[in-house]
Amino acid sequence: MQVRLTSDSKGSQKAESRRALSLVFLLLLASLMPLAATASTSTTRSTTVWSGTVVLQDGYTVGIQDILIVQAGTTIQLGNDKDLTVDGRLSIQGTALSPVVLESILGKHDGIIFNQSSQGLGSTIDNLSVEDAEWGVTIYGSDPVLTNVKVINADRVAVDLFDGATPRIYNLRIEGGGQDLHGASTSWRYGIGLSVGAYSAPIVDGLVANGLITRALNYWGNSGGMLSLLLISEPTRPLYTSYAVLCLKKKKKKTKKNKKKQKKTKKNKKMYHNTQ
């Protein structure tokens, strides 16, 4: 027995097959949508805003995909030996009349640490006062802009640069440093104002440093940069003012003429002393 399909039955079969294909396509699309949503979420930056008093007993880390904004007048309190680590972007928005204060809950905190992952993300610090710190601001291979930052009596280093750090620093003020460790520290690295090391090259326009136990300015490790408008007063040294500092100088080779001049100068000095 043979069954022949009419044109109506053939058309209905085609319509059913189209509906089945459409249903399969919709199911596949629905299964892919959560993956797409997850991928877009992972690349979205999350922004956190602080104001008032922020207590961080265990410290805080700004993730590499995150932005932290600290509004004017905010007080940040860190736990003992804890720090504010910046892997992403930090924006401290203090003003002259309403600065941001970074202090300790109890003991000494380790300040703000910029890691290399924060380089090029546009971190800025404006009008920040750092108190009760062992370390003030530490920068590893990053380039934040620091304006009107004040560090008061940090035990170790007020601003410490490593690993090719290239920050721009304007009007940095360092008041005291190392007094609490003087006579007790087993390391020489305390009571230092600005330390520039390991191929770092900051631009510093305006530095006032008073009362540092060890030194106000410390350079090491093939570092360079540009420094201007320095006012330094250390406990055992007279007030020293400089409008430009050349950090690395090569010794000039002594020529024969220079040697002759030095010999003449020595002879003249001896004659002068003999006549007195």
pLDDT tens digits, 26-43: 666 555 554 433 333 345
Q: 236 pLDDT exceeds 90?
A: no
pLDDT: is 274 or 62 the higher one?
62
Q: 215 pLDDT exceeds 60?
A: yes
Query: Looking at residue 10, what is its pLDDT?
Result: 54
Query: Looking at residue 250, what is its pLDDT?
Result: 39
Query: Looking at residue 265, what is its pLDDT?
Result: 47
pLDDT: is 23 or 236 the higher one?
23
Q: CA 15 to CA 209: how far, in whole Å? A: 85
pTM above 0.85, yes or no: no
For residue 274, name the pLDDT band (cuts at 50, 70, 90): very low
pLDDT: is 16 or 113 the higher one?
113
**pLDDT by residue (tens digit) across 156-197?**
999 999 999 999 999 999 999 998 887 777 778 999 999 999
Q: Which of 30, 62, 59 is nearest to 45 (CA)?
A: 62
Query: Looking at residue 180, what is its pLDDT?
Result: 83
Q: 14 pLDDT exceeds 80?
A: no
Q: CA 276 to CA 266: how far, in whole Å? A: 16
Residue type, 23: L
Q: CA 225 to CA 98: how far, in whole Å? A: 31
Q: What is the mean pLDDT of the chain?
A: 82
Helix %, strand %, coil % of the chain (to 5): 20, 40, 40
**pLDDT by residue (tens digit) across 73-91?**
999 999 999 999 999 999 9
Would you say 166 and 200 are in contact if contact means Cβ atoms under 8 Å apart?
Answer: yes
Query: Looking at residue 28, what is its pLDDT?
Result: 61
Q: 259 pLDDT exceeds 70?
A: no
Q: CA 149 to CA 84: how far, in whole Å? A: 16
For residue 131, name the pLDDT band (cuts at 50, 70, 90): very high
Q: CA 209 to CA 192: how far, in whole Å? A: 10
**pLDDT by residue (tens digit) across 49-72?**
999 999 999 999 999 999 999 999
For residue 140, name the pLDDT band (cuts at 50, 70, 90): very high
Q: CA 257 to CA 244: how far, in whole Å? A: 30
Q: 235 pLDDT exceeds 70?
A: no
Range 120-136 average pLDDT: 98
Would you say 135 and 147 are in contact if contact means Cβ atoms under 8 Å apart?
Answer: no
Query: Looking at residue 23, what is its pLDDT?
Result: 63
